[in-house]
Structures are given as C-alpha cells and as structure tokens.
Amino acid sequence: MAHLIPLSRLARLVGQPRSVLQRMAQDGELASFDGQVELDEVLRLFPDVRLEDEKELRRVEEIKDQALLKSPVRPELPDAIVLYERLRILGREFAAARGRLKHHERVHGWMAGKLAEAVETRQATPQFAEQFLNWFKRELAAPQADIRNWEELLAMERVMRVMSAQVTIVPSGQSFEVMGDETLLEAGLHAGLSLPYGCSNGTCGQCKCRIVRGDVVKVHPHDYVLSAADKQSGYTLSCAYTAVGDLEIEVPLWGVADIPEQTIVTRVRAIEKLGPARVALHLLTPRAERLRYLAGQQIEITIAGESRLVPAAGCPCEERRIEVHVLCDRDDAFDRRVLDGLAANDEVGIRGPFGDFVLDDASERPVVLIAKGPGFAPVKSLLQHALSLEHAPSITLYRIAGAEGLYQENLLKSYAGALDHFRYVAFPAGHATAELVDGIVRDTALASIAGHDVYAAGDGGFVAEVRAHLSARGLPAGQFKGVDIA
C-alpha cells in the first residue's frame, strides 16, 4: 500500500522550500498525486537526506521566521484534547498495519506448504522450491538499507503528524499546515490565505467552512450556534476548531470585492523614520479586531483630525500588526503630528481596505516585483504575502531608489540570505525604465518573461512605461498589475 506525504510536510522533512518541490513536480522530476508524494519517490530523489538531523532543520526554519518577521512559532505540542485525538487516529492506523502484518506472517507460514504441494503435483521442481525458500528467508532476515531509510522517514513523518496537520482547501487546491492546537482560521491566515471571517472569536459565524474529509475538534468556545442543517452538511467554525489529522475543507477564498470596509482604532507600536519626509508607522489593532485586507491594498489613516490614503507595507499574515508608509511633505497638522508629535501607544484611526493591486494567489508562476521609490511599500506587502504562500517557484524584486534612497534594504538582504528562491536587485535613483526592463527580460531569458507574473508600483508614468515595454516583449496583459504610488 502506497504511503503519501503532503508537499508541505515533505518540504520540512527534506529541508527544501516547498516552491522547489512544486517546480520539480511541474517539471516531471517528482511524481506527485494531488499535492502528495509517495514515500518511495522521496527516497529515490533524496537518498542522502539526514532525517535524524532535526535540530538543523529547526534552525533553518527559525532563520526563515526571523527573516520574515513572523510572530513566535506556535506551541511545541498541541493541547491534551488535540493530542489525544491525533494519537487516537495514529493508534487506529498502527492497529490496521499490525493486522496486515499478522496476515502477511500467516501467508509466509503457508508458503512452504504451498511450494511442497506444487512439487508433489509437479507444478514446480524441488530445486526451484528450495532456492525460492532460501531466498525468501534471506530477504526477511536482512532488510536492505533502503527499508531502514523508509522506516526512518516514516517515523519522522508520523511525529510531524502528531505536531501538525495538513489542510487542503477545495475547490482552489491550496493548502496550509495547522501547527499545535491553533485554529483553522489562525493557521490559514498565518499561511497568507484570505480565509473569510468576521469577529474571529466565535460570535458572527462568517468563518463557516464545510468539512469534506477528515475530523476537527473544538479548541475555543463560541457563541454562534450552528443549525441542525449546517451540522448535517458538515459545517464548522474555522475560528474555534482545529484539524485532528489531515483535512479537506470547502471554503471560498476572499477576493477584493468580498472584503467589507472596516473602521478600527489602532495604537502605535513604533515609528520608523525612512527618510526626511517618509515614516513607517507600525500599528496594532485591538485583540478582538484585526483588519481584513489583502496584501498590496491601501488604508486610510486618521491623525490630528485629518485623513490620508497610504499603502499597507505588511502582510495580512502578521495578525494584528499593520505597517503603513506615510509621506509627510505638506507641512500641515497631519505631517507635524506624524513627524514630531506621534508617540508609542497613541491612537490612530484606520479605515479600509481600498484598491485592487493584489497578488494572484492561485498562480504558481514565478513572480517579478518592480518598485520605484515609494512604490516599495505595496510591493513589500506583496513580497511578504508571496513568501508566506510559498506558491511561487521564484520571486525577484527589482527596485529603483527614490528620494529617500533604498530604505529598509537590510530587511530585503536578510530575505535574500535566508531564502533560496528570493532574489533582490537594486538600482540607483534615475535609472532609465527602458534599461530596467531590458535587464529584467535578459534576467528571465531562460524562462521567457511571458511565463511570469509581474507587479509594478511607482509613479503613474513609470508604471505605464513598464507595462508598455513588457507588453512589447511578450508579457500577456493578464499577467501584469500596476499601481500608482506618489
């Protein structure tokens, strides 16, 4: 019986980015079935993987988490209820495997008698019967090295199944891992997916999803009452339940038109000067509220009684934390408050989200990001979202400096240092757009620009020029998105 491992779990087992494994599957190097790989196929492609070196794999994951500024990883172990349910499932599987083994042992015992009967009826020669039994005994007594590797890999994968569960969304086919006892909603948002939700505390019911295959268990109380029809159809609340084992859920992912406009009062976590007139505000929403938005969208902030539309520069996967980049070049009350009077814990009103400069998170094409000056803010948001999704086989950021220079560049260098599939290419201010596009096309010559998704942000003239140049070089119109950021 074949043993299948989900790609996300396999990536952790063999220490490879999921995007690399996806590209191998697309190129036919790795045989996969609905996003899963046979154990024997893993050993064929990764015969030298050091499965016992779990500390090294954990260290690499920590480096990646730090580079992406993610919140501390979830608890090492699930809580007692989740752990019990996962061990119960593994116990059933173990019992089934022992039953099959017992049956195989019986068959082995019958084999000598069947061969003797074949000799008596002259269906086989005595020499064949003796040679076959000797070979069979040798094989059973001395398992080959690949069987030992198979056992080690399976043992590690079973431990991972206790610690986490794989969740696949239908009909989109996207997937994410639930770690420990975090809820389906928490895990999906951590992975950068736009799961629908409202209150996120079990009151509104907007996070309902239907269980297609697998089991869930409640980890948080909720006030919303599922109807008898909902329960009969397999619906659950993603904000209050977690996966017991590998799971399939049916839920439509949010698009731009699905997200309601929200108004929230946030507090300032930190203020980061990006240049003489540009500031990064790091905001925190209340515990009971989090802004629902898509990476690349814009947010209206209100300070000193005045409002301004600014690009979000963070990823929705960062939970309650929001980063916006604000240009303060008007010398009005708003600017003076941001530059000189705003302090940690001050209130800032936000409203939104707005705009449709968002990632095509269903695409698995390589991603090219192009940012000029302040266009870096929404592009940074898209970058963090793309890294969280782990769908793109490669991500390249081309950046032209603006008046403030290449701010937050150390962050990008840390990404490039920790992640094999991310590249960062910087250009000085004033670099010609045509030369930039020529460089991009040459950079992607091995796999034509037509096979990429391109996102560009900067002033309107720059974005229009990039679009025209790339279109002339064969980029399909549907694979380009741009936004004007002054």
Output the domain CATH number for residue 88.
3.10.20.30
Q: Which of 194, 219, 253 is at the close of a domain?
A: 253
Query: Per-residue confidence at 75, pLDDT binned at 50, 70, 90?
Result: very low
Same domain, 49 and 109: no
Q: Which of 44, 65, 86 is at the close of a domain?
A: 65
What pLDDT, in 10s, does the model give residues 11-35?
777 777 776 777 777 777 888 776 7
Q: Is 166 left (phi over 0), alpha (psi -120 to 50) or beta?
A: beta
Q: Which of 311, 332, 354 is at the close of a domain?
A: 354
Query: Per-residue confidence at 51, pLDDT binned at 50, 70, 90?
Result: very low
Question: Which residues are registered as beta bridge partners of 400?
Answer: 372, 427
**pLDDT above 90: residue 455:** yes
| Within a domain: 362 | no
Same domain, 29 and 137: no
For residues 388 and 415, give the distance between their C-alpha atoms in angstroms, rounded to a whole number: 12
* Tally of domains in the chain: 4
Buried b (16+ CB within 10 A) or exposed e, 88-121: ebeeeeeeeeeeeeeeeeeeeeeeeeebeeebee
Average pLDDT over residues 366-379: 94
Strands (E), 415-460: 422-427, 453-458
Same domain, 84 and 233: yes
Residues 299, 378 contacting (CB under 8 angstroms): no
Q: Please name the residue that has the structure tokens 């068959």.
A: 107
Q: What pLDDT score was predicted for residue 56?
A: 41
The pairing of strands 298-303 and 453-458 is unpaired
CA distances from 335 to 263, 304, 308 (A): 22, 9, 10
What average pLDDT does the structure give for the chain? 84
Question: Which residues are registered as beta bridge partners of 278?
Answer: 275, 327
| Within a domain: 114 | yes
Q: How far separated are the first and last CA of the chain, in Å rounded?
A: 59
| Within a domain: 276 | yes
Query: Per-residue confidence at 80, pLDDT binned at 50, 70, 90?
Result: confident
Give the range of the structural domain holding residue 195, as residue numbers without chain letter: 74-253
- Count of CB atoms situated within 10 Å of the CB of 443: 14
The pairing of strands 278-284 and 247-250 is unpaired
Same domain, 20 and 150: no
Tokens of 302: 């209100």
